Amino acid sequence: MKQLKVILSGGGTGGHIFPAIAIANELKKIVSDVDILFVGAINKMEMEKVPAAGYKIIGIPIAGFNRKFSISNFKLPFLIIQSLIKTHKILKDFKPDVVVGTGGYASGPLLKVAIAKGIPALIQEQNSYAGITNKLLSKKASKICVAFEGMDKFFPKEKIVLTGNPIRQDIFSIKEKRDEAFDFFKLDASKKIVLVIGGSLGAKAINEAIGEKFNSFVDNNVQLVWQTGKIYFDEATKQANKYKDKNIQIFDFISRMDLAYALADVVISRAGAGAISELCIVEKPCILVPLPSAAEDHQTKNAMALVNKQAAILVKDIEAGQLLVNSVLQLVNDLPQQKKLSLNIKALAHLNSANIIALEVLKLANYKLK
């Protein structure tokens, strides 16, 4: 049987990158002879994260449209043309059986050129509100894997498969990792812990809200594991040093999210689709602070899909400074509410997303498993 060849593209944020890596890992698990290539945007985080996961990646010079007036927007047509030309060459040289797009700037040119060449294309839409690029590509894509019900208002119904979002495999077994987690983070197992994750790039409103009220956590004997992102990391470290409190752990990026989830009593998070999918799997009571500038305000729509099922609490970004810390401390001390949120969010989990999507990829490639 000939070697299976697959190109994946997803980037810009962890929410696009990690699903693509999860699909790649699953393909390797199912198929012994598979050649996987990633296509990403030059200078974006996928160019670092994908090689770290053990995969080859080629960068193209694509960029996004800046919603505020910017000189960089005038360069965009030229970057798109350059990216389409380079993508054409990548496809010609690699000759994939299937291409998979999980979102991000590079995904658009890759799927557009692949579809034009007659190569089967699979779109993995993470959000409850589809982006413009995926809506346009869906008309000629072969299959669309979605994470939320009701996506036929964006995509052709006959192409949709409800799969959930593929996530990191290491978070499926967090209950067995609590002791390891407390050793890793050097925290006290007898005290409550709040995990703050503003996404792989950080979150200004969340960071500022936490930073301004450090004393509330210290005064209430609540420990903190805080992922700030790179931009806010130095400022957060300075603020924490004022308290000299060893029960506040600050990171620009948490590589061992499995351990962070394992010890958390309550989680504060943005409402990106990847984060929400992980929270459903780990069954953690959470407060979601949607990023208001996300395209089509999709994070608010993601969050409301949980809030409407009484599976999460929502605090608006603009109200985070006033409400966030009080809301989280109230939840930390309300065990019945924690249990209710945990039970309801668990019911929304999709457990085998990466496997289901990998099998759809094999179908498109007409690859028969032995």
Chain mean pLDDT for the chain: 90
pLDDT digits (tens, 9 = 90+) for 33-50: 999 999 998 988 899 999
Given 3.30.930.10, 3.40.50.2300, 3.40.50.2000, 3.90.1150.170, which CATH number is that of 4-165+351-364?
3.40.50.2000
pLDDT at 199: 65
The DSSP secondary-structure symbol of 251 reads E
Report residue 351's pLDDT band, with 50, 70 and 90 as the boundaries: confident
pLDDT digits (tens, 9 = 90+) for 71-120: 556 566 778 888 889 999 999 999 999 999 998 888 999 999 999 999 99
Given 3.40.50.10860, 3.90.550.10, 3.40.50.2000, 3.40.30.10, which CATH number is that of 169-346?
3.40.50.2000
Same fold, 4-165+351-364 and 169-346: yes
One-letter amino acid identity for 227?
Answer: Q
For residue 288, the cross-strand partners are 269, 314
**Higher pLDDT, residue 295 or 88:** 88
H helices present in the chain, as ranges: 14-30, 46-52, 72-94, 107-116, 132-138, 178-185, 204-212, 214-219, 230-241, 257-263, 273-282, 298-307, 320-332, 335-346, 353-364
pLDDT at 15: 79
Domain assignments of the chain as residue spans, ordered by start: 4-165+351-364, 169-346
Lowest mean pLDDT among 76-85, 100-109, 158-167, 344-353: 76-85
**Residue in the structure block whose two tokens are 């994946």:** 8
